[in-house]
Each structure stands twice: as structure tokens, then as C-alpha cells.
Structure 1
Amino acid sequence: MTLTDLFATRSSRMKASEIRELLKLLDQPDIISFAGGIPDPSLFPHEAFRRAYADVLGGAGANAALQYQVSEGYLPLRRWLAAHMTDLGVPCDEGNIFITSGSQQGLDYLGKLMLSPADTALVTWPTYLGALQAFNAYEPTYARLQPNGGNTTPAEYAEAAAAAGGRVKFAYLVPDFANPTGETLTLGQREGVLDLAAELDCAVIEDAAYQALRYDGEPVPPIIALDCARSGHLDAARTIYCGSFSKILAPGLRMGWICAPRRIVEKLVLMKQAADLHSPSINQMAILHVAETSYAAQVETVRRVYGERRNAILAALEAAMPAGVEWSRPEGGMFIWVTLPDGIDTTALLARAVAEERVAFVPGSAFFADGSGRNTLRLSFTLADERAVTEGIPRLGRLIRDELARR
């Protein structure tokens, strides 16, 4: 007997993140990486955080910053977030806000809360890899969510879920500038998701990590705002909103939040108590300080810089890619989704890209619950400096052109 013989069955569904492994390439200075979906650290509000931590530790709140915190989260921060959500069209108060250690922890908690083995989660094809990793441990079945319209009826979803041994528990999606595709759902598509969830009597998990990163076009109301308008108030809604400070302020503090009906928040608090008691007090207090003083200005800064980088990468793709290659043109976010002709395996192509051209990207199959999409890849443009534009994309185009010539 070895210790591995004692592992729970769910451990077999825990797999390494291809993205986290690819981040190791960033330590190689000659690699031009479009792989990691990470913010540009040069844009972090360093001075604002220096002042925040100095004020927190130098003032009357120093003891509270170093002490245990309530599991729901720091009350002034929850009140700030309640006002923020109200501005987004979701009237609520601090009782609807739950602080997480990054929005990734929120996804894990929601999977734990809702999924029994063999239950069904509806996810887009492709979807955020981190969500699949979070949900996998709870042994669900995945079914394809098609917000743009498909042939699957609510009855067919329910019948397939019952045949698998459970029921449909939630629809998970990233409606704004999705990871990995960069796509944004229209108002009609968001309403359609709510219609489907109502017929299935399931929850909707709205992952809003990129919601603030809009560079073009008109904002679309969050799904949770539409749900509140339908149901009358948040506590009667079925949507659970996962937000994050990582893409705007700083990911290293691991600070996110969930906005949801109180009955959901109450259960999440119990899970937090059992897992890690609470998110770090000092980080919550520092995030509040920076949010109150710098959030709006920081949003404008990252929008301007990332919007320019997106434009540069899109222009470079237009100039460098051979015929038959297609890509998304996102209105915001951090990602461009590239589709190559059928028959090209981007996992194998990545090995060539790193060895021959010193360029990295994320193979698309990692984002599909069934491992399909092998001719797709994801490019992140948030770190796209001049070298990435003038050398990286042309190298990738040259490699793809050569791969097509070999067929």
C-alpha cells in the first residue's frame, strides 16, 4: 500500500494547469510569451498600495489589520462593494457580499456548494480553464452551454442530466470579454441564459473578472442586474456574481468577492470558516484604501494601455497571418482567440513555437471540457510590448505558414 492508494476518487480529476506551467517560460528572457493571462505589473498602483499599508499599520486600525477577521469579510470593504454593485444595477447591501481569496476561491466554493458527483454543470465550449479545474474536484458531468442559440432544449438538458445520475445545477459563463475567446454576450443572449436557467430551475454563475476592461462599444448590463430586474430584488434572484480586484488593482493580494442572495452568502460563510477562516485582514483593509482613492483612475489607465496593445496585436495578426487563420476582435478584456485550419494540433505546434521561434501561447484544447478544439489557441495581449508586436506575431505567423505548407 502507498499513500496514493488512499486518495479520494476526485483526485483523479485534478490536473496541472497548462497556463500555470507555461508561466514558467516567463523566466526565460528570450521567450516572447502570449501565454499568461496576467496584468502588466508596471501598471500596478504601487504608490497607492505603499500609502495604504502604511496608513493601515500606522493608524488606529493596526491591531485589526493583524487580527482575525469575520468570515464574511471586512465590513467597510463589503459596504464599498455593495455600493459598487448598486452602481452596476444590482441594489444590495453588505449582507449580499462575501469576500474571497481571489475569485478562483469563489468558483471552488460554488462548485463545492452545488455539485454532487454526477450533477451537470453547463459551460461554454470553450470556457475558462480555472473554472473547469475548480469544478472537476466535485466530479460533475459537463454539458455544452450555447448562449448564441443551439439545438439543445431545456428538456433535453434535464433528461441528459438525469441519465448521468444527477441534475443540472448551474450555468457558468464569462459574459464580458470571455477567457479565452474574448467574446461578449449581447443583451438578448444574457436574457436567454436567464430563460434557460428558469426553465431548468438552476443557478447562473456569472464570472465577471474582466467586466471593467471595456475598450470599445457600449456596456451591457451584468446578468445579475437583469435577474434582479426580473425577480424584483437580489435575494429572489438565481444569479451569483464573482468579481475580482486582480485585473484592475493587483492579483498578488488574492482579493475577490461574490455578490449573491443572502441564502447563498450564509452557506459560503460556513465554508470559509471551515477552510481558511477569512481572507487576510490587512489585504482587505489595504484594498479598501486603494479602491476608495484610486479605483476609478486605475480603471482608466488599464483601459487605455490595454486597448492600445489590443489594437497593435490585431494589426500585427492582420499583417502576419496566412490565409485560413481566423481570430476574434474583442471589445475588451485580455485575450484574442485564434482558430487555425482543421488538422493542426496547437499543442504540438507549441513545442515547435518554443523550440524554433521562442514564442509561447496557450493551446486551445485546455479550455474545452471534452479536450476538443485542438486547432485553436489563446493569445494574451496585456504584456504585448513593441517586441511582441514587431517580432512575436510575425514569428508565430511564419511558424503557422510553415505548418500549413507541411500538410
Structure 2
Amino acid sequence: MSLTNLFATRTEGMKASEIRELLKLLDQPEIISFAGGIPDPALFPREAFARAMARAVSAEAAGTTLQYAPSEGYLPLRRWIVGYMATLGIACTPENVLITAGSQQALDYLGKLFVDPSDTALVGWPTYLGALGAFNAYQPRYDRLDPAANRGPAEIAADAEAAGGRVKFAYLSADFANPTGVTMDLAEREAVLDMAETLDIAVIEDAAYQALRYSGTAYPPLLAIEIARKGDLEACRTIYCGSFSKTLAPGLRVGWVVAAKPVIGQMVLMKQAADLQTATLNQVVTAEVAEELFDEHVAMLRKVYGARLQAMLASLERHMPKGVSWTRPEGGMFIWVHLPEGEDGAKLLERALATEKVAFVPGNAFFADGSNRNTLRLNFSMSDEATIDAGIQRLARVMDAAGIR
């Protein structure tokens, strides 16, 4: 007997995450992995979490921490987020904040909130693989989000209508985007907001890496820019998705959304239907650790990861063939590599694992149409400087053996 013939058509767009599959390689000590977008566990604030967890499960606290809680989220954590958002130029209240099980859950809810089959989502080319995975279940059509391109809003809207739907949102990561590491400048952010106004669509701002800036000029989030334009968050179409995964620890699965109250209200209904709430214990512990050391801890991460970024950039400069190019991020966790035309990152990965025990993510996974196979993503946050250099040397040998010049 098989039930597969009963599966909903939406399951046809669900695919295994290439990144999640590659994470299994981390259990093999001989592999040097530049694959996952993973924070270094040696840098987790373990002692602070241990103290907070002990207090959270004490007899005095357990009646709260082990109990059901409001779907909106733990109020002290939402209040901390309100204070944090204020430092970014985003004035909000706890009623504008929803706690989610990581920002990935937020993306799933936003796909569910906005997309009817055949509607168009504007995304980067490339874009975050997890966003495509979250949106795919709702059967969107994808179009390229490129504020600098010659295609105007009217042409984008006409193409969406011809495909049987309408443009619903633009999804982007403005700071140190996954997978490219590229940051949008102020003019590009303004252009996205202008386009969204013309098309009358939502803007989903994925800010997972925003706190991890190591050099260069910091730009305000799109939501901050829009609030400055309109004077009130309630008048804004931008939806900000934040996460503690890259700053404190990913295993607790605590993220948040900041948006106008009608958006938050609808997402709360989705959360009630899906899982009732994000785990109370995880929220309480995260709130306490964030209150205790967030700024200090992030400053340490910037120093360590910044040094690893520079080590990888220097190693690429020393060892890569002349025909290979790459981005030069100012933060985040990734460098994006372009191979010569005609090369295939997936085939290169097979050779790299078999001959040199080095891993990365083939770039075509980050394109909605599976194109641009001559690209790959490298992560630098998980490896120290010596391991980074050794891994890049291995990768260079693979390229040399493959005839990449």
C-alpha cells in the first residue's frame, strides 16, 4: 500500500535541502567543511545558558517556564527585542513582535500568509535556499528581484498577471546575504522600497546576519528606512525577520518578526494552528542570556569571525586559479565563488569529497531555476585560520586536477 497518490500537489515543490544533507559531513573528522552556515559551537555562551537554564527550571520558575504561554511570545523577550530594534532605528511595541521557532518558521508563515498558487515572489538571483524551501510549498512563481535592472514594475506586474497571479512580496537579505555575502547600499534599499510601493507588495527583510558586520559602513534596515519615510510602523509594508541563531545559539530555535499589527495578528493565528507557541523554556533562557551579554558576545563574534573572513579571502587570493573570482563581504558567514563558464559546482563537489575531503555548497541550489551551475558557496565561520588555509589549498588542488585555470 502507498499513500503517495493522496499527497497534495503542494508537496511536489518540496525538496531535500542540499545544505542539511551536507551538514551530515561534519560528523566525519577527515572532512574540512565549508558547507553549512553554522556558528562555531566553541563560541556559544554555554556558561550563561547553563546558569539561565538552572534558574528557569527551579521550583520557583518552573510554573512559568514549563507551562503554556501566549502564542505571541514571552513578554520579557519581546520587550528586549523592542529595545534592540530601537537601536536599529525601528520604533515598535511588544504588540508588533511575534516570537517564532527560528526565522525559518517565520518564512514559512509568510509564504502561507501571502502566496496563492501562481502568485509571484520576487527573490534574489541567487537567494537563500531555505527561503525557497519555505515558499515552495505554497506554489509560487519566482521572478528576479534586481532594483538595478532595466525591467520596471509595470513589466514585472504584467508578467505575473500573465502567469495567472500577482506579485505578492519581495524577499531579500540586505546585509551579508546568504549565499553571496553581498550587502545592499542605501540607494539599492531605497529602490526596493520604491518598487514595493509601485507594485503594492510586501517586503520581507531577512536580517539573520545583520549583527555580524566586521568592517565597512552600516546601513539602516529597510524597515527603519520605511519608518523614516512614513513616520509610523503601522503604515509600513516591510516585515522584519530576526534570529538569535547566528548570534547566541541556533539549537534553541528562537527568532522573531516585527511588523504592523495586522500582519502580526494574522501570523499569531497561524502559530496557534501550527504549534501553539515557541517553547516557553527556550524563550525564557534566551531572554535572560540576551539581557546579560548580547552586545558583549556579538562583539566577540565579530572579532573572531572577522579574522576568519580575512583568512579565507587571503587564502583564496594565494591559491585560486586566475579564472576563479569571488565576493569580498564585510560581514556574515559566506563567500560566493564564480568558476569559469561551463564548469559545474556539483560535479566539482563530488571530486572534492572523493579526492581531497573538502566540502562546500554548489551554487545552483540557490537559484530558483537551478541555473548558474558554475558557482559555489564557502562558509568561513566554522573553521580556524589554519584549517581555512588547508581547506582552500585542498580545493585549489581539486580545481587544478579538474583543469580549472
Superposition TM-score tier, normalisation by shorter sequence: over 0.9
Alignment pair present for 1:116 and 2:116: yes
CA distance in 2, matches of 1:389, 1:247: 20
Is structure 2 residue 351 aligned with structure 1 residue 352?
Answer: yes
Q: Would you say the 8 A contact 1:177–1:333 is kept in 2? A: yes
Instruction: Give, in angstroms, the shift of residue 387 of structure 1.
Output: 4.2
In structure 2, list runs of 5 or more residues that go unmatched. Answer: none
Alignment-derived partner of residue 174 in structure 2: 175
Deviation at 1:60, TM superposition (A): 3.2
Instruction: Check whether the contact 1:182–1:334 (CA below 8 A) recurs between aligned residues.
Output: yes
TM-score (norm 1): 0.98
Within 2, Cα distance between the matches of 1:390 and 1:90?
40
Contact 1:321 1:401 in 2 (8 A): no
Give the distance between the partners of 1:237 and 1:386, measured in 2 at CA. Answer: 43
* One-letter amino acid matched to 1:181: T
Q: Which moved more, 1:387-396 or 1:288-297?
A: 387-396
SS of the residue 1:171 aligns to = strand
Q: Give the Cα separation in 2 of the matches to 1:254 and 1:384.
A: 23
Counterpart CA distance in 2 for 1:299 and 1:385 is 18
Counterpart of 1:128 in structure 2: which amino acid? Y
**How far, CA to CA, are the matches of 2:375 and 2:49 in structure 1?**
38
Aligned to 2:231: 232
- Give CA deviations for 1:140-161 in whole Å, capped at 9, x if unaligned: 00000013x0011100010001
- What TM-score, normalized to structure 2? 0.99
Give the match's secondary structure for 2:210. coil
Q: CA deviation at 1:386?
A: 3.9
* Contact 2:311–2:389 (8 Å) recurs in 1: no
Q: 1:160 to 1:384 in 2, by over 3 A?
A: same
Counterpart residue identity of residue 190, structure 2 = E
Residue matched to 2:58? 58
Letter in 2 for 1:344: E
1:120-174 superposed Cα distances (whole Å, 9 cap, x missing partner):
0000100000000000000000000013x00111000100010111100000000
Q: Answer yes or no: is the 8 Å Cα contact 1:313–1:384 preserved in 2.
A: no
Say if 2:312 and 2:385, in contact at 8 Å, map to a contact too. no
2:84 is aligned to 84
Distance verdict in 2 for CA 1:308–1:386, change over 3 Å:
closer
Q: Offset at 1:41?
A: 0.2
**Contact kept in structure 1, 2:308 and 2:385, CA below 8 Å:** no
Shift of 1:59: 6.0
Q: Is the 8 A contact 1:83 1:93 kept in 2?
A: no
**Does 2:141 align with 1:141?**
yes
Q: Which residue of 2 aligns with 1:95?
A: 95
Aligned to 1:296: 295
Q: Alpha-carbon deviations, 1:15-48, whole Å to 9, x = none?
A: 0000000011111110000001100000000000
CA distance in 2, matches of 1:116, 1:95: 27
2: CA distance, partners of 1:18 / 1:5: 25
Aligned length, in residue pairs: 405
Question: 1:154-173 alignment to 2 at 5 Å?
Answer: 154-173=153-172
**5 Å matches for 1:244-393?**
244-393=243-392
Q: Which amino acid aligns with 1:355?
A: A
Q: What does the per-residue CA deviation read over 1:329-373, in whole Å, with 9 as the maximum and x for residues that have no partner?
A: 100000000000001001011000000111000000000000011
| Aligned AA (1:99) | I
Query: 2:398 maps to which residue?
Result: 399
- Structure 1 position 241 matched with structure 2 position 237: no
Quote the residue 1:43 is aligned against: 43
CA deviation after TM superposition for structure 1 residue 398, in Å: 1.5
1:231 Cα deviation after fit: 1.5
* Secondary structure, aligned partner of 1:283: helix
1:322 and 1:390 mapped to 2: Cα distance? 15
Aligned-pair distance for 1:103? 0.2
SS at match of 2:263: helix
Between the aligned residues of both structures, percent identity stands at 62
Give the CA deviation at 1:389. 2.5
2-side partners of 1:277 and 1:389: how far apart? Answer: 42
Structure 2 Cα separation of the partners of residues 311 and 286 of structure 1: 33
Deviations 1:29-72 (A, max 9, x none): 10000001100000000000011111222263321100001000
The aligned residue for residue 212 of structure 1 is 211
Supply the AA of the counterpart residue of 2:146: Q
The answer on 1:151 being equivalent to 2:150 is yes
The letter for the 2-side match of 1:11 is T
Contact residue 85 and residue 92 of structure 2 kept, 8 A? yes
CA distance in 1, matches of 2:19, 2:386: 22
Q: Give CA-to-partner distance per residue, 1:297-335, whole Å, 9 cap, x none.
A: 110111000000001111100000011100011000000
* Aligned equivalents of 2:387, 2:13: Cα separation in 1: 35
Please state whether the residue corresponding to 1:253 is helix, strand or coil: coil
Unpaired runs of 5+ residues, structure 1, are none
Three-state SS of the structure 2 residue aligned to 1:58 is coil
DSSP-derived class of the 2:403 partner: helix
Alignment check: 8 A CA contact 1:307 1:332 kept: yes
